[in-house]
Structure 1
Amino acid sequence: MHALCLNCTLKRSPEPSNTGDLAQVVLGALAERGVTTETIRVVDHQVDPGVVSEAVSDGDEWPALRERVLAADILIIATPTWLGQPSSVSKRVLERMDAFLSETDDDGVPVAYNRVAGVVVTGNEDGAHHCIGEVGGALNDIGYTQPPQNWTYWNKGPGPGEEEWSTTDEKDWTISTGKACASNLFAVATALAASPIPAPPS
């Protein structure tokens, strides 16, 4: 079983990413269950605007990233919160994944079926549940299965400030929630592998 995290931070490598660090809690718990894991920091790649799987321009890297997305049994979208919204990077990813709605395998099964998805959110103010709802709703439309408690988040209290997940001492709830997220993602992915969702009636 393989899990992929798309880290949708606005920060380019090698700048530290609070969002990536929190996502690693979930990935680490999955690795303990024998799942192979990888992370892609999307902003390090050229992903053109669009709603197609094919390259939009000569430099568009989405087709290669798409292959890695579809090679994963478990997909995690990790995003910071800005202005109470998921990052623009995460929205661009979801827009490109819109193409999955009309794509099927050789048996007529939508390409996102029989894969599970989770969400990780960090931010400097409230808005995590809104971001989880926005990302999770899009992933459901695309065809991903989402177990209960398929997310974790960390938010600083009210007022302006930086994302502080990496330096805060208040991590216990977020870590335990992240481990529950991993457990549920693994359980449902295992169930789908044993009893996959068939192609929808025509």
Structure 2
Amino acid sequence: MTTHQPPSPQDFADIRALLINCSLNKDSAQSHTGRLLGAVGDLMSRAGAQVDTLYALDYCLPPGVYPDMREHGWAEDAWPETVWPRVQQADILVIGTPLWLGEESSVCRIIIERLYAMSGELNEKGQSSFYGKVGGAVITGNEDGVKHAAMTLTFALSHLGYTIPPQADCGWLGEIGPGPSYADPAPEEGGTPVGFDNEFTQRNATIMTWNLLHLARLLRGGLPNYGNDRRAWEAGERFGWRNPEPLPAKPQE
């Protein structure tokens, strides 16, 4: 068996990761998604990265696609002063969500909406402020839908400007239908908690975590801004674009 030498923790000491848990449990200690998301965060921490965790239900985050929903009728909004600064500081964003009816949670959609609200924010290069950052998804449940939810989330992050590395999602599914969830106590006394011995989940979570770290390291300094500088586009620069030839006129019948 080939032995791989792990990277030094110093290799990722300047990498910041934010893990957002979109569980529907009011008590974060009861979150199954939090257990798998926590395993990813633990691996990142031991690799030397700085890991910040955020439990979405701990904050008042109204739905909507504006940076500050207090300007649109809501009395309270933790996004602009509390949550958004933590998103800005992070090189890596991992969104964790449970599955319900094969879809991500309603809380997760609010997070995506609020991220979308910031799509007009630009960095110093005139690019989306999400450029140079990487994103991934952690999904848990006891029904089908991991790949569908991961597809939705990673597309949303990519559309906003995040870079998505290979194999940027992981998940755990119990048996189809009602049943135990990830990290539930073992059905037999002294047994392994549910999902902990699932090698497929372990492998995908590990690969996702390291790919996020490696890509975040590669993207330090961001992407070149030729062709994606929105300020230059607004000033008239077209970066080589030209319209194709028009379709020929249809012959008269």
What's the RMSD between the two structures over aligned residues? Answer: 1.5
Structure 1 unaligned runs (5+)?
Answer: none
| Deviation readout 1:84-142 (Å, 9 max, x if unpaired) | 00000010010111123221023312111100001000001111001101111111111
Residue 161 of structure 1 deviates from its aligned partner by 2.6
Contact 1:155-1:163 within 8 A present in 2 as well = yes
Contact 2:35-2:182 within 8 A present in 1 as well = no
Equivalents in 2 of 1:103, 1:23: separation in Å? 28
Higher mean C-alpha displacement, 94-103 vs 122-131: 94-103
Q: What amino acid sits opposite 1:90 in the alignment? A: C
Residue 43 of structure 1 corresponds to: 57
The answer on 1:115 being equivalent to 2:133 is: yes
3-state secondary structure, aligned to 1:130: helix
The answer on 1:190 being equivalent to 2:217 is: yes
Q: What amino acid sits opposite 2:171 in the alignment? A: Y
The answer on 1:152 being equivalent to 2:170 is: yes
Give the aligned length. Answer: 201
Residue 58 of structure 1 corresponds to: 75
The answer on 1:181 being equivalent to 2:208 is: yes
Contact 1:122-1:165 within 8 A present in 2 as well = no
What is the identity percentage for the equivalent residue pairs of Structure 1 and Structure 2? 34
Q: What amino acid sits opposite 2:19 in the alignment? A: C
1 or 2 for the larger relative contact order (CA 8 Å, sep ≥6)? 1
Higher mean C-alpha displacement, 110-119 vs 11-20: 11-20
The answer on 1:128 being equivalent to 2:154 is: no
Q: Looking at CA atoms only, which structure, 1 or 2, has the larger radius of gyration?
A: 2
3-state secondary structure, aligned to 2:151: helix
Task: Report the TM-score when normalising by structure 2.
Answer: 0.75
Residue 91 of structure 1 corresponds to: 109
Structure 2 unaligned runs (5+)?
Answer: 1-14, 185-192, 234-253
Residue 100 of structure 1 corresponds to: 118
The answer on 1:72 being equivalent to 2:90 is: yes
Task: Report the TM-score when normalising by structure 1.
Answer: 0.94
Q: What amino acid sits opposite 1:38 in the alignment? A: D
Q: What amino acid sits opposite 1:186 in the alignment? A: L
